[in-house]
């Protein structure tokens, strides 16, 4: 069953210290693996129906600190999913062309069309996170973006796109260990960037920015889920549970067959 403790009430003030990144809700790793396998099988069936129906879309937003597990979540949770109906968008630093437009322009272009699951690896929330912490725009500008984001997400949901937003919550100590693992494993050197270290030094500033983003943009149409992510297997379980729950609620259906199929004869 979903752990609703991880879903703050819309309108409430979120304090991340109230969410334990080591929490696993009393579940052990083996039990989680069995449930993940079962849920993935169900997700595959629901995704096929979503694609066939072509009337709804699902947008999954993943946000986290560096080494928080966004890539690993995508790789593990979506194992076995038909890639024809799923695509991932990674939001890097905006290009000059993107900066010449409003901050949501590049995001809106990446929203999944009906029938698809879209995954955002980082998202429009960077414009109230890194932009805020690094003072890339005036305070009045980034503060105004919360309501722009809420209006944008309401537009998407009103247009048939279900939104799930996950904050993959790791501790600062866990991030340090993951950085060390990358440094100690040559096959993971490519995942380490010295540019991540100045961000780590501003950990508290980012936690405050995340708390405000989650609190101000946790609307019923597009809820946030705070995922304890120190244990990767529990992180994956929470995410796949929420996705299956959302797809079940969307209840996509296969389209009606052409009339007269029972009389079709396939020629030799």
- pLDDT bin (cut points 50, 70, 90) of residue 3 is low
Q: Is residue 57 predicted with pLDDT exceeding 70? A: yes
Q: Does the CA dihedral 77-83-87-93 come out positive or negative?
A: positive
d(CA 11, CA 9): 6
- Dihedral in degrees, nearest 10, Cα atoms 3, 4, 7, 9: -170
Average confidence (pLDDT) over 78-99: 93
Q: Which of 165, 184, 176 is nearest to 203 (CA)?
A: 176
What band does 46 get if pLDDT is binned at 50, 70 and 90? very high
* Residue-wise pLDDT tens digits, 129-172: 999 999 999 999 999 999 999 999 999 999 999 999 999 999 99
Tens of pLDDT along 196-228?
Answer: 888 999 999 999 999 999 999 999 999 999 999
Q: In the predicted model, what is the mean pLDDT of residues 51-67?
A: 97
CATH 3.40.50.300 for domain 4-250, yes or no, is yes
In tens, the pLDDT along 107-119 reads: 999 999 999 999 9
- In which band, very low, low, confident or very high, does the pLDDT at 268 lie, cut at 50, 70 and 90? confident
Looking at every residue in the chain, the average pLDDT score rounds to 94
Write b or e for each residue in 123-162: b if 16 or more Cβ atoms lie within 10 A of its Cβ, otherwise e: bbbbbbbbbbbeeebeeeebeebbebbbebbeebbeeebb
Residue of 85, 218, 203, 53 lying closest to 149 (CA atoms): 218
- pLDDT tens-place string over residues 228-262: 999 999 999 999 999 999 999 999 999 988 888 88
- Which sign does the torsion angle of CA 11, 17, 23, 25 carry? negative
Angstrom distance (rounded) from CA 159 to CA 47: 19
Assigned token pair, 6: 């991880």
- Residue 2 pLDDT > 50, yes or no? no
Average pLDDT, integer, range 90-98: 94
Cβ proximity of 41 and 251 under 8 Å: no
| Residue entry with tokens 């062309």 | 97
* Measured CA distances, 135 to 128, 131, 143, 200, 259 (Å): 10, 6, 12, 16, 61
Mean pLDDT of 82-103: 94
Residue 99 structure tokens: 């900066």
Q: Where residue 5 falls among pLDDT bands split at 50, 70, 90?
A: confident
pLDDT confidence bin for 1, thresholds 50/70/90? very low
Q: Which pLDDT does position 191 carry in this prediction?
A: 85
Query: Structural domain boundaries of the chain?
Result: 4-250
């Amino acid at each position: 069953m979903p752990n609703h403790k991880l879903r703050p009430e819309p309108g409430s003030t979120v304090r991340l210290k109230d969410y334990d990144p080591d929490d696993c809700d009393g579940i052990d790793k083996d039990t989680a693996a069995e449930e993940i396998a079962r849920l993935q099988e169900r997700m595959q069936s629901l995704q096929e129906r979503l694609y066939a129906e072509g009337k709804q879309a699902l947008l999954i937003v993943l946000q986290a600190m560096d080494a928080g597990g966004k890539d690993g979540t995508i790789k593990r949770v979506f194992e076995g999913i038909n890639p024809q109906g799923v695509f991932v968008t990674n939001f890097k630093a905006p290009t000059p062309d993107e900066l010449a437009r409003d901050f949501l322009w590049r995001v809106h272009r990446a929203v999944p069309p009906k029938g698809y699951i879209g995954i955002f690896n980082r998202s429009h929330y960077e414009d109230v996170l890194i932009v805020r912490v690094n003072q890339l725009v005036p305070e009045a500008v980034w503060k105004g973006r919360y309501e722009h984001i809420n209006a944008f997400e309401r537009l998407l949901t009103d247009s048939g796109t279900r939104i799930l937003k996950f904050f993959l919550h790791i501790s600062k100590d866990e991030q340090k260990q993951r950085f060390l693992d990358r440094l100690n494993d040559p096959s993971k050197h490519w995942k380490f960037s010295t540019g991540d270290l100045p961000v780590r030094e501003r950990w508290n500033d980012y936690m405050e920015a995340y708390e405000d983003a989650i609190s101000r943009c946790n609307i019923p149409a597009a809820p946030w889920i705070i995922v304890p992510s120190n244990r990767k297997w529990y992180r994956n379980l929470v995410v796949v549970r929420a996705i299956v729950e959302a797809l079940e609620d969307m209840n996509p259906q296969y389209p009606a067959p052409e009339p007269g199929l029972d009389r079709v004869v396939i020629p030799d």
